[in-house]
């Protein structure tokens, strides 16, 4: 069946070459000083650039943080699935479980002064940028205390003070916007970069190439990150792109292909990209990743991919499992301790949902707020203009 013939590429076995510390001393999970060297699962592939090395230094603390952050993201997305089925979340809900390594690895390489902009699969990026579970669930349920006060919904999470510029519903639009952020950072003479995330579906958008051309002409510190989960909604990459080597699609712009299920590979790539962008202008990172859910909650995700493929990736390449194995092999925590952390996270998520449910719906007057920053006292109208009108402040 045509569907499966490419899927074997997705099942790259985790490298067993994880260095084992011979010391019997138990490493403390809060230890920030001991250096542990890890190797990425596969080497990087470069396009018009020399790829960074695949050995990376980390610490027990970082490993534990990766575990905790990814487990929280995983739990949040699974809980969102249940909430959607319970009709507490309406409209669109695009889940990120499976792709957590990209969000977590990127955050580890950058600061909150660097900008991130992404499309609609934004819940976990929001968490990575410092958003809370309560803010996320409340927004998903359309309540007043949501991060966008209930006015945005799943696709429109923002956190400007931590450099997160959304949350965008129009496929591909976020790429020129992200390059605009990079423009502004350069204009303001700041030594920061902007990451514009997009999927393999968006990678064929014309506006991406228009904006990339300008980024290259003007040497903007823009990093384009293609989160290639191999399916643009229901269309496999080889059916949508003549050249699915997205890291090469920049042509004159250098690119790097990265195992997006390996948080350390992501971290290394983002660090490399930031240094590159600040000196030489734009670069493309292609994150080879996978989503377990369908495109959105209205897509089962199994009509265009086999269940074997999905479970195969989960078994061989799950980002959370990779970190778990690293933690266990380095003796930083026991199996039980990790399970306890996951139980704790589950409890946190349940509490956040309970708190979110308590939040009221936005006040009807909020229909008319934030249309403008400066409304000049202009009138705005509801469906029946004679009945519902408001003055915009």
Residues that bind other proteins (CB under 8 A): 115, 117, 148-152, 156, 158-160, 165-170, 173, 175-185, 187-188, 206-207, 209-211, 213-214, 217-218, 369-374, 376, 378-380, 385-386
Beta bridge partners of 45: 257
- Is the CB of residue 257 less than 8 Å from the CB of residue 229? no
- To other proteins, the closest distance from the beta carbon of 74 in angstroms equals 26
Query: Measured in whole angstroms, how far is the alpha carbon of residue 392 from the centre of its chain?
Result: 36
- To other proteins, the closest distance from the beta carbon of 144 in angstroms equals 10
Cα torsion through 245, 247, 248, 251, rounded to 10 = 140
Residue 307 CB coordination number (10 Å): 9
Give the helix ranges, DSSP H, for 149-225: 174-187, 206-217
Return the number of the residue (17 or 170) whose C-beta is nearest other proteins.
170
Cα separation, 87 vs 270, in Å, equals 37
- To other proteins, the closest distance from the beta carbon of 277 in angstroms equals 15
- To other proteins, the closest distance from the beta carbon of 189 in angstroms equals 10
- Is the CB of residue 287 less than 8 Å from the CB of residue 262? no
Return the number of the residue (111 or 311) whose C-beta is nearest other proteins.
111
Cα separation, 311 vs 57, in Å, equals 31
- To other proteins, the closest distance from the beta carbon of 393 in angstroms equals 11
Give the tokens for residue 339.
């399970």
- To other proteins, the closest distance from the beta carbon of 11 in angstroms equals 37
Residues 6+ apart with CB under 8 A from 220: 179, 182, 183, 186, 214, 277, 281, 282
Beta bridge partners of 167: none
Beta strands in 318-366 (DSSP E): none
Return the number of the residue (235 or 380) whose C-beta is nearest other proteins.
380
Return the number of the residue (61 or 149) whose C-beta is nearest other proteins.
149
Return the number of the residue (222 or 287) whose C-beta is nearest other proteins.
222
Return the number of the residue (185 or 229) whose C-beta is nearest other proteins.
185
- To other proteins, the closest distance from the beta carbon of 220 in angstroms equals 9
State the residue for tokens 């650039």: 49
- To other proteins, the closest distance from the beta carbon of 352 in angstroms equals 20
Return the number of the residue (151 or 346) whose C-beta is nearest other proteins.
151
Buried b (16+ CB within 10 A) or exposed e, 269-287: bbbbbbebbbeebbbbbbb
Return the number of the residue (73 or 177) whose C-beta is nearest other proteins.
177
Residues 6+ apart with CB under 8 A from 303: 234
């Amino acid at each position: 069946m045509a569907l499966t013939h490419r899927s074997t590429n997705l099942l790259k076995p985790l490298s067993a070459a994880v260095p084992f510390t011979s010391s019997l001393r138990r490493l403390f999970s809060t230890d920030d000083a001991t250096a542990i060297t890890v190797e990425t699962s596969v080497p990087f592939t470069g396009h018009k650039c020399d790829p960074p090395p695949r050995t990376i230094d980390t610490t027990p603390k970082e490993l534990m943080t990766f575990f905790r952050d990814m487990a929280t993201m995983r739990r949040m997305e699974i809980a969102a699935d249940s909430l959607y089925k319970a009709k507490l979340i309406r409209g669109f809900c695009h889940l990120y479980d499976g792709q957590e390594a990209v969000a977590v690895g990127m955050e580890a390489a950058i600061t909150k002064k660097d900008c991130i902009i992404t499309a609609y699969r934004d819940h976990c990026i929001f968490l990575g940028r410092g958003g809370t579970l309560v803010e996320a669930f409340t927004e998903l349920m359309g309540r007043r205390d949501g991060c966008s006060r209930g006015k945005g919904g799943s696709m429109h999470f923002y956190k400007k003070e931590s450099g997160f510029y959304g949350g965008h519903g129009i496929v591909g639009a976020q790429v020129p916007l992200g390059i605009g952020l990079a423009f502004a950072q350069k204009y303001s003479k700041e030594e920061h970069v902007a990451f514009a995330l997009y999927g393999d579906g968006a990678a064929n958008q014309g506006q991406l190439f228009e904006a990339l051309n300008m980024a290259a002409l003007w040497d903007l510190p823009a990093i384009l990150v293609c989160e290639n989960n191999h399916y643009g909604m229901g269309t496999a990459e080889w059916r949508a792109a003549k050249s699915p080597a997205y890291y090469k699609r920049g042509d004159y712009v250098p690119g790097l292909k990265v195992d997006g299920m390996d948080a350390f590979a992501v971290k290394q790539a983002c660090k490399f990209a930031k240094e590159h962008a600040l000196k030489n202008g734009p670069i493309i990172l292609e994150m080879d990743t996978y989503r377990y859910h369908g495109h959105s909650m209205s897509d089962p995700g199994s009509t265009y991919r086999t269940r074997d493929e999905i479970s195969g990736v989960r078994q061989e390449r799950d980002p959370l499992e990779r970190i778990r194995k690293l933690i266990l092999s380095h003796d930083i925590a026991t199996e039980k301790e990790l399970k306890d952390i996951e139980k704790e996270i589950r409890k946190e998520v349940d509490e956040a949902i309970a708190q979110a449910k308590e939040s009221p719906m936005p006040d009807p007057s909020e229909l008319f707020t934030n249309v403008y920053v400066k409304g000049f006292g202009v009138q705005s109208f509801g469906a029946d203009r004679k009945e519902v009108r408001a003055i915009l402040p």
